[in-house]
């Protein structure tokens, strides 16, 4: 149960608690009303999809403990309002406050107290139910041990405790819906926003959900906004309702007051029913027949008089008032009826605004690493470039061995004996394009794949902003790139050391004479400097992939767009000529051409007298410009991205 912090609650008589002066003597504060708080307050929200107005002047409010039924036909705009409240969409006008916090200005604080399920629940299918929830709980700011306990509690409350260790990919639609409700309960939120939560649930699951919501509202004072177009799901559960029609709120208020204002109808049952109905019509009333009974509004007539008239027309077995149902209220509003209930009376509650957990970028980074490791995306990044490096070194060793055998056989006059620095440089020239392609692929999937799997919505519903999520993804991508680079370099150096060692490159003649072609003392510094000059182009490649990922919704299109960004400018190489150093591909081997620092290092390791690096002047500036431009584009696109 959510409890107010010490010092925030008002005393029972409406006065603030006494405070102590410097001597420790109790001193009463001035009298003032008890503080009040609104769990959710939406005022005059407007939103458009393109030119079409989806939401027009929507206002609603929830108090702690309210169960708010948000009604409307399919396409009325209910889900759009929930997306606006969660920051998944940004309104053109209006305000959103969560426990007094402006959600548009401080979304992290606002979402710290909110749990939500909007449309399809999206999860990482390769991970278990408990892993998915624990990652989200950690993203919300909980420590690992507390996150695991919170995940277990949420699974137990939704009836999934027995399958907590099963992969989500094996779940049925109903089980995934329960898991979606479980993720909304993580961290004991004070406000729940549930969009069609009974979708795909069986009757037992619907009954369990109704019991859970009653407990949350009554015992834990959680405010619940329940969106549905199925009125029977909300009957007997909600205390307040709002009816949305074509993007505009037509009714909003306390359910009891709305029922009183609409008025009760009387149930009429008896035999013969047609005679009873005809008698009601003779009295100037308009009964509605429903099966073996009729419903009629008395329109101010005395119930006793109507009952006597009915008794004279037949055998009357039932005549009792029935309060207005949700269906009656909805249909009245849907057909243009006007209901204006009195404004709600604020409930005196401790005004404890939510507090955003610290280190949002670190939490987003850790969350991204969890998903990368569990999804085995990191394995390809670590293994493929390293395998290419070892394969290239082995091929070079085989070629050197073959030429030395030809020298020994007298078929060649001389040949070089190979060196570790040259072998490592050639290995990196072969493996680095593979690493760059893996980094580009991984970066292009970080946002687009989350959008396709509906997991980005779960992330953005937590106490992190879009900028934090972007930086977390970028940091995880750079960490993965560094890990792949270390694995590639380690494999290249280990293979070179095994087959060659890191001595001088010597020419061996058929007579056994040896002449130094490239001294290790001269080659080593150039080789290590070339490695540093590969780091920034690799980071820029990942940033380009990340930018492409924010621009499209499908992972395959994101990869194609990323490849176009990197390789497309190659068409401008000839027109640019001396300025071709501004192309990102000028600073990395591509497998087609290589003007990079690694090519210069390999030429130096061969002892080439004409070794030259044409793009040394732009080695830092050009990749840095690509990195900054790609990151700025990604930030702009993700900020404007509508997350469905």
Structure tokens at 32: 């003032």
pLDDT of residue 340: 59
Nearest one of 117, 131, 135 to 213, comparing CA atoms: 117
Q: The domain containing residue 143 runs over which residues?
A: 55-258
Q: Are residues 207 and 281 in the same domain?
A: no
Is the domain of 372 the same as that of 284? no
- Give domain status of residue 523, yes or no: yes
Burial of 135 (0-12, 13-18, 19+ CB in 10 A): buried
Per the structure, the count of domains in the chain is: 3
User: Domain check: are 284 and 241 in the same one?
Assistant: no
Q: How confident is the model at residue 26 (pLDDT cuts 50, 70, 90)?
A: very low
Average pLDDT over all residues of the chain: 85
Distances (CA, A) of 579 to 576, 615, 616, 619: 5, 9, 12, 12
Q: Is the pLDDT of residue 19 over 60?
A: no
Average pLDDT score over residue span 228-251? 79
Mean pLDDT within 345-353: 55
Residue 25 has pLDDT above 50, yes or no: no
Query: Is 30 within the bounds of a domain?
Result: no
User: Using CA atoms, how far apart are residues 477 and 473, in angstroms rounded to an integer?
Assistant: 6
Q: What is the CATH number of the domain that holds 157?
A: 3.40.50.300
Check whether residue 245 and residue 177 sit in a common domain.
yes
How does DSSP classify residue 167? Answer: B
Decide which of 613 and 264 is more confident: 613
pLDDT value of residue 198:
87
* Residue 132, pLDDT score: 94
**Same domain flag for 382 and 507:** yes
pLDDT in tens, 31-54: 444 445 789 999 999 998 877 888
Q: Provide the CATH number for the domain around residue 304.
A: 3.30.70
Name the DSSP letter for residue 125: T
pTM (two decimals) = 0.83
505 bridge partner residues: 518
Please check the confidence at residue 614 and state whether its pLDDT lies above 70: yes
Q: For the segment 50-97, what is each residue's pLDDT rounded down to a tens digit?
A: 778 889 999 998 889 889 988 888 888 899 999 999 989 999 999 999
Same domain, 77 and 193: yes
CA distances to 161, 162, 445, 460, 496 from 154, in Å = 8, 12, 30, 20, 53
Answer yes or no: are the C-beta atoms of 430 and 437 closer than 8 Å. Answer: no
pLDDT of 259: 66
Give the three-class secondary structure for 226: strand
Identify the weakest region by mean pLDDT among 48-57, 178-187, 252-261, 532-541: 252-261
Judged against a pLDDT cut of 70, whether residue 467 lies above it is answered with yes
Which of 1-10, 27-36, 362-371 shows the lowest per-residue confidence on average (mean pLDDT)? 1-10
Q: What is the b/e burial string over 543-564, where b = at least 16 CB atoms within 10 angstroms of the residue's CB?
A: bbbbbbbbbbeebeebbebbbe
> What average pLDDT does the segment 297-311 reach?
82
Q: Is residue 187 part of a domain?
A: yes
pLDDT at res. 3: 37
């Amino acid at each position: 149960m959510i409890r107010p912090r010490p010092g925030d609650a008002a005393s029972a008589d409406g006065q603030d608690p006494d405070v102590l002066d410097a001597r420790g003597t109790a001193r009463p504060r001035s009298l003032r009303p008890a503080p009040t708080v609104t769990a959710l307050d939406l005022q005059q929200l407007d939103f458009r999809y393109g030119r079409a107005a989806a939401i027009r002047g929507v206002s609603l409010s929830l108090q702690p403990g309210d169960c708010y039924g948000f009604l409307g036909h399919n396409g009325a705009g209910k889900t759009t309002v929930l997306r606006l409240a969660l920051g998944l969409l940004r309104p053109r006008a209006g305000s959103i406050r969560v426990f007094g916090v402006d959600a548009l200005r401080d979304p992290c604080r606002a979402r710290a107290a909110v749990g939500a399920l909007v449309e399809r629940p999206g999860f990482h299918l390769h991970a278990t139910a408990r892993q998915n929830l624990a990652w989200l709980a950690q993203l919300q700011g909980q420590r690992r041990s507390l996150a695991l306990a919170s995940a277990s509690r949420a699974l137990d409350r939704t009836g999934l405790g027995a399958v907590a260790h099963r992969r989500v990919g094996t779940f049925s639609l109903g089980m995934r819906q329960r898991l979606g409700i479980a993720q909304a309960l993580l961290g004991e939120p004070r406000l729940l926003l549930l969009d069609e939560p009974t979708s795909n649930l069986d009757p037992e699951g619907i009954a369990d959900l109704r019991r859970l919501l009653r407990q949350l509202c009554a015992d834990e004072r959680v405010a619940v906004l329940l969106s549905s177009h199925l009125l029977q799901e909300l009957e007997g559960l909600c205390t307040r309702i709002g009816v949305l029609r074509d993007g505009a709120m037509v009714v909003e208020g306390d359910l009891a007051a709305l029922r009183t204002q609409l008025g009760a109808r009387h149930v009429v049952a008896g035999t013969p029913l047609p005679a009873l109905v005809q008698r009601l019509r003779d009295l100037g009333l308009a009964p509605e027949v429903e099966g073996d009974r009729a419903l009629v509004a008395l329109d101010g007539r005395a119930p006793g008089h109507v009952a006597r008239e009915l008794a004279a027309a037949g055998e009357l077995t039932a005549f009792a008032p029935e309060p207005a149902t949700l269906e009656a209220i909805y249909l009245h509003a849907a057909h243009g009826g006007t209901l204006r209930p009195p404004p709600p009376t604020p409930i005196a509650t401790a005004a404890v605004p939510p507090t955003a957990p610290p280190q949002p970028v670190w939490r987003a980074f850790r969350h991204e690493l969890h998903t990368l490791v569990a999804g085995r995306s990191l394995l390809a990044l670590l293994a493929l470039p390293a395998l290419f490096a070892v394969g290239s070194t082995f091929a070079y060793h085989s070629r050197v061995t073959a030429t030395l055998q030809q020298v020994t056989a007298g078929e060649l006059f001389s040949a070089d004996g190979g060196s570790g620095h040259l072998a490592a440089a050639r290995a990196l020239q072969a493996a680095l394009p593979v690493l760059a392609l893996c980094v580009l692929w991984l970066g292009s999937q970080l946002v687009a794949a989350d959008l396709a799997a509906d997991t980005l919505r779960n992330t953005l519903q937590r106490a992190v902003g879009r900028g934090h999520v972007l930086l977390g993804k970028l940091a995880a991508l750079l960490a993965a790139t560094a890990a792949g680079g270390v694995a590639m370099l380690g494999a290249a150096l280990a293979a070179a050391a095994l087959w060659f060692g890191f001595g001088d490159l010597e020419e061996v003649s058929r007579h056994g004479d040896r002449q130094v072609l490239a001294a290790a003392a001269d080659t080593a510094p150039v080789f290590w400097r070339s490695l540093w000059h590969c780091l920034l182009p690799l980071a820029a490649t990942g940033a380009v992939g990340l930018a492409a990922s924010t621009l499209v919704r499908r992972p395959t299109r994101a990869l194609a767009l990323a490849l176009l960004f990197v390789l497309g400018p190659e068409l401008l190489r000839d027109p640019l000529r001396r300025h071709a150093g501004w192309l990102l591909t000028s600073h990395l081997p591509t497998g087609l051409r290589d003007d990079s620092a690694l090519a210069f290092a390999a030429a130096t390791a061969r002892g080439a007298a004409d070794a030259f690096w044409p793009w040394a002047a732009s080695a830092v500036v050009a990749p840095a410009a690509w990195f900054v431009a790609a990151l700025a584009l990604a930030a702009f696109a993700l900020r404007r991205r509508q997350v469905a």
